[in-house]
Structure 1
Amino acid sequence: MPLSPVPVPVPGGGPAVRPAAGSEFAPLLRLVRDSGLLRRRGGRYAVEIGVNALALAGVWAAVVAVGGSWWALWLAVPMALLGGRTAFIGHDAGHQQIAGGRRVNRLLGLIHGDLLLGMGYGWWNDKHNRHHAHPNHVGKDPDVEVGALVWTRAQAVDRAGFARFLTKYQAWLFFPMLLLEGLALKVASVRDLARRPAGERRVEGALLAAHAVGYVALLAWAMPPGIAVAFAVLHHALFGLHLGASFAPNHKGMDMPGDGDEHRGHLRRQVLTSRNVRGGRVTDWFLGGLNYQVEHHLFPSMPRHRLRRAQPLVRAYCARIGVPYTEAGLLDSYRQAMRHMHAVGADLRRTDRRR
């Protein structure tokens, strides 16, 4: 069963004040908008995009310079971390956080997703927007669909064979399985091309092909075949681990609403299913601002760099109206998520022990 959120007490110990029905989110939206936190930060993003591009170019230059040596494998580490930064920029473009117009945001998403990472921007954007509309809702949120992993005991019931083994021990296998996520994202992006409208399919197909050809060509030019293969495997494994570790604390082990919870308004639907991760600037950098998951879900178009400033406003407002607001340290957030995943497979482990 999902873990219960840890509520933040009402400041001063006073009673919670609930706004009139249907208006819970509106006062918070006005407060945040009046604070200027929804304004774009084009200059900040321009610097971040430029620095990220220069850093990527620098790492690739180092790969070319030392590619004949096995020491080049160490460069897979900064390459994976910068891949995470690139993915965060693409994520923000998909949420219209960077520029005021959809065309510019889409262009940035195509560059940072399809061209630089080999991840389909259209596929990811559709999937991610459905997640935001119904977070943790089985049957509506694609992130809690049945796949290699499952998220509820009901999903676990009919698992058989190797899938049953994965479900029984998925909490232990989760992080090792993330080592395959970098490759899985590329495979899913290519498979989704058939579903794209013809125009999008041509553009994204060309960019994905350019990424694949450019990546292989650079490694083949810079390294002997054995080192090139080892570098590609290590790079994609670390990239998948980094991305998965950034998304894992956000919703796993939080409330999983059913069809009977559709009456919830926007504020409760987002806050009750999301978990923030406490930490400083290093945590913000490593998790790409997604550690402010409550604020991000309430205001998906808010520039990532403003989420830290929005947090105290949101937390205080939730306390005032009596809505539980969940936070945890980074390690504790992983522990809570893994505990939930382990509980999902409990019935299967119990049944198999009796046989």
Structure 2
Amino acid sequence: MGKGQQGQSSTQVNLDDTYSWDDVKEHSSKTDKWVVIENGVYDVSKWVTRHPGGFKVLSHYAGEDATDAFVAFHPDKTKVKKYLKPLRIGFLSPESSTKSEIVSDMRSLRTQAEEMGLFKPRMGFYAAHLAHILALEVLGWMVLWFYGTGWSPYLLAAAILTTSQAQSGWFQHDLGHLSVFSQSRWNHWLHNFVIGGLKAASAHWWNYRHFQHHAKPNIVKKDPDITMPYLFLFGEKMPIKWASQKRGFMPYNYQQGYFFLIGPPLLLPIYFHTENLYHVITKRIWTDLAWTVFFFVRWFYFYGPLLGGLGALGLYMFVRFLESHWFVWVTQMNHIPMEVDNDTQKDWLSLQLHATCNVEPSAFNDWFTGHLNFQIEHHLFPTMPRHNYAKIAPHVKSLCIKHGLSYQTKTLLGAFTDIVRSLKSSGQLWYDAYHHT
């Protein structure tokens, strides 16, 4: 047991204390959390409630080495370390500080990417992206204003506005990951405008949810994107576990069918609206609520005179309905067909490779998916500007070959098809286990 292990939060801390991994792992409870970052041991038991990324994302690494997640999520590490310094209670003992080859190689690749300048954004790229979003917003309104509200202009305007909303979604994603500007606060400011003013959603809600996904992708009870067991079961292990416990009330062996009815059509219009509103009200994020109000005031100001109040609301929900299909298929094609499991504390490279796959790059695929077709690179380097994914990809592939990790790349259609295939396979596993155990 390391020196002074017991009662570190309430007693004088000796920064020369050293701890073994057994010491660290003992502190992973709800009220007692230690993490290791760059061989330093930190007591974050109280800090988790003030962590800007939310308490859950930090809690997911309690009792573990959080170095690679820390480096991946924080572009300004010098600033963040100022907050870390008062939390340090000692260091890992020398015998516990040895790193595996795969961990060392991944960290070397990170250093190489920094030396290549791949974390420096191109302002022209993002300015053009924002300009085309705003142009589509204006064009959608002008179609109705100039051509009237008949079915043809209505459907055309809806398609244009859906495209604008989908592309706004990819842009807010970039801003949320602090990859557009070198200054974090500029990313935060524009993120609030784009996700709130252009999309009627909460930046705080998005950060709280999305960073958990990145920290532990496809990990049961830690990744909110796969925590839908009362509707869908994913992977090979979760369905069998639920079946053995006789849990669940859905006909999961048909989930590949009802996915088309309650997945893409309803996620944005129903579930995300409800979750957003619940989040901002319960956590009192009034700034985000104000941005949402601003969006709807703007929307009804422009579309109310053309369509009436109910017509403007109907257009909004129709656009969300269309966008939801776009969003779900793109965001789930990289994860649902991959490994879903309990947390086995894999290294950063293995964790992300087991949970993600890529889609072939092309001008259309890059634009249509917001460069999320480079999902592997995005998960390994979430703050990297997306226009640089293609540059780091060959180096990631080489590292995967060296360590025997599967680097999967699919066609866009193949990735969409694999969502349905995976749902069918998981549902059948549940059915077979449920009725034969």
TM-score by length of 2: 0.70
Which residue does the alignment assign to 2:276? 189
Aligned to 1:168: 253
Q: What one-letter code is carried by the residue in structure 2 that aligns with 1:158? A: R
Give distance in 1, aligned partners of 2:328 and 2:194: 18
Count of residue correspondences: 328
Alignment of 1:67-82 (within 5 A): 67-71=148-152, 72-82=154-164
SS in 2 for 1:40: coil
Q: Which residue of 1 aligns with 2:418?
A: 336
- Could you tell me which residue of structure 2 aligns to residue 90 of structure 1? 172
In 1, are the aligned partners of 2:120 and 2:182 still within 8 Å (CA)?
Answer: no
User: Which position in structure 2 is the counterpart of 1:3?
Assistant: none
Is contact 1:24-1:267 (8 Å) kept? no
Name the % identity: 24
Change (3 A) 1:353 1:65: farther
Aligned to 1:30: 111
Letter in 2 for 1:190: L
Q: For the residues of structure 1 that align with 2:420 and 2:401, how far apart are their CA atoms?
A: 27
1:130-152 C-alpha deviation (Å, 9 max, x unpaired) = 11000000011111112533323
SS at match of 1:57: helix
Q: Larger deviation: 61-70 or 180-189?
A: 61-70
1:21/1:57 Cα in 2 relative to 1: closer, same or farther (>3 Å)? Answer: closer
Say if 1:70 and 1:228 are closer, same or farther in 2 by CA, change over 3 A.
farther
How far 1:225 moved relative to its partner?
6.2
| Cα contact 2:136–2:163 (8 A) shared by 1 | no
- Which range moves more in the overlay, 267-276 or 60-69? 60-69
Q: What root-mean-square deviation, in Å, do the aligned CA atoms of Structure 1 and Structure 2 show? A: 2.3
Aligned AA for 1:51? H
Shift of the 351–297 alpha-carbon distance from structure 1 to 2, 3 Å rule, reads closer
Q: 1:220 aligns with which of 282, 304, 308?
A: 304
- 2: CA distance between counterparts of 1:83 and 1:300? 22
Tell me what 2:4 maps to.
Answer: none
**Structure showing greater Rg:** 2
Which structure carries more helix by proportion?
Answer: 1
Give distance in 2, aligned partners of 1:340 and 1:113. 31
Cα 1:349–1:295 shift into 2, 3 Å: same
CA gap of 1:276–1:21, structure 2 versus 1, over 3 A, is: closer
The structure-2 alpha-carbon separation of the partners of 1:317 and 1:246, relative to structure 1 and needing over 3 Å to count, comes to same
Query: Cα deviations across residues 11-38 of structure 1 (Å, max 9, x unaligned)?
Result: xxxxxxx972631311211222222211
The reply on whether 1:117 has 2:199 as its aligned counterpart is yes
Taking a change above 3 Å as real, the CA distance of residues 21 and 299 of structure 1, as seen in their structure-2 partners, is closer
Cα shift at 1:70:
2.1
- Given that 1:296 and 1:307 are in contact with CA atoms closer than 8 Å, whether structure 2 keeps it comes out as yes
CA distance in 1, matches of 2:306, 2:194: 23
User: Map of 1:1-355 to 2, 5 A cutoff?
Assistant: 20=101, 22-71=103-152, 72-146=154-228, 148-151=231-234, 152-153=238-239, 154-155=241-242, 157-160=246-249, 164-165=250-251, 167-177=252-262, 178-183=264-269, 184-196=271-283, 198=284, 201-224=285-308, 228=312, 230-259=314-343, 261-262=344-345, 264-347=346-429, 349-350=431-432
Deviations 1:239-261 (A, max 9, x none): 111111210111112122323x2
CA 1:187–1:65: 2 relative to 1, 3 Å: farther
Name stretches of at least 5 consecutive residues in structure 1 with no aligned partner. Answer: 1-17
Determine helix, strand or coil for the equivalent of 1:272: helix
**AA matched with 2:231:** A
Larger displacement relative to structure 2 (115-124 or 130-139) = 115-124
Q: Which moved more, 1:175-184 or 1:138-147?
A: 175-184
Highest RCO, 1 vs 2 (Cα 8 Å, sep ≥ 6): 1
Which range moved further: 180-189 or 107-116?
180-189
Q: Following TM superposition, by how much is the alpha carbon of 1:155 offset from its aligned partner in structure 2, in angstroms?
A: 4.5
Cα shift at 1:52: 1.7
* Amino acid in structure 2 at the alignment position of 1:179: P
| Contact 1:276-1:326 at 8 Å conserved across structures | yes
Q: Which amino acid aligns with 1:257?
A: D
Cα distance, 1:79–1:314 mapped onto 2, change above 3 Å:
same
| Gap runs ≥5 in structure 2 | 1-98
Distance 2:188 2:394 in 1: 31
Query: Residues 99 and 252 from structure 1, CA distance in 2 versus in 1: closer, same or farther, beyond 3 angstroms?
Result: same
Do the aligned partners of 1:169 and 1:342 also contact (CA within 8 Å) in 2? yes
Give 1:187's aligned amino acid: T
- Give the drift of 1:303: 0.4
**Alpha-carbon distance, 1:227 to partner:** 5.2
Q: Which AA in structure 1 matches 2:287?
A: V
Q: Could you say what secondary structure the match of 1:253 adopts?
A: coil
The AA in structure 2 aligned to 1:106 is: H
CA distance in 2, matches of 1:140, 1:53: 36
CA deviations on 1:38-89 (whole Å, 9 max, x unpaired) are: 1122232122212321221222222333343222122111211111110111
Change (3 A) 1:283 1:207: same
- CA distance in structure 2 between the aligned counterparts of 1:119 and 1:33, rounded to whole angstroms: 32
Deviation digits for residues 177-226 of structure 1, max 9, x if unmatched? 31122213222211111343x4xx12111111121232234332112567
TM-score normalised over the length of structure 1: 0.85
Per-residue deviation, 1:228 = 4.2
Runs of 4+ in 1 over 4 A off after TM superposition: 224-230, 347-354
Find the aligned partners of 1:241 and 1:21 in 2 and give their Cα distance: 38
Cα deviation for residue 271 of structure 1 reads 1.5
